Amino acid sequence: MGEAKRRKESIGDEYGKEERIVAWLPITKTQSEDFVKWTSRGSWIGISLLVAWWIVVRFVGP
């Protein structure tokens, strides 16, 4: 019997499912990594827009 079959028998129904961060919270590790990736990207976009707005107001505005 192969290792995969042995692991499937020992784990049972949970075999092949992603591991959760906390047992009572229905968020997987992949979902949390995606959340961090998207929020970091959004933060950098916001910072870039703020800098662009500041340059426009500073040099074009007056």
Decide if 13 is inside a domain. no
Measured CA to CA, the distance from residue 47 to residue 52 in angstroms comes to: 9
Residue 14: per-residue pLDDT: 66
Decide if 12 is inside a domain. no
Decide if 45 is inside a domain. yes
Decide if 43 is inside a domain. yes
pTM: 0.61
Q: Which domain holds residue 39?
A: 19-60
Decide if 14 is inside a domain. no
Report the chain (62 residues): mean pLDDT per 10 consecutive residues: 72 70 82 94 98 93 72
Decide if 49 is inside a domain. yes
Measured CA to CA, the distance from residue 16 to residue 8 in angstroms comes to: 8
Give Cα 37 to chain centroid, integer Å: 5
Structure tokens at 2: 């192969």
Decide if 33 is inside a domain. yes
Residue 1: per-residue pLDDT: 58
Number of domains in the chain: 1
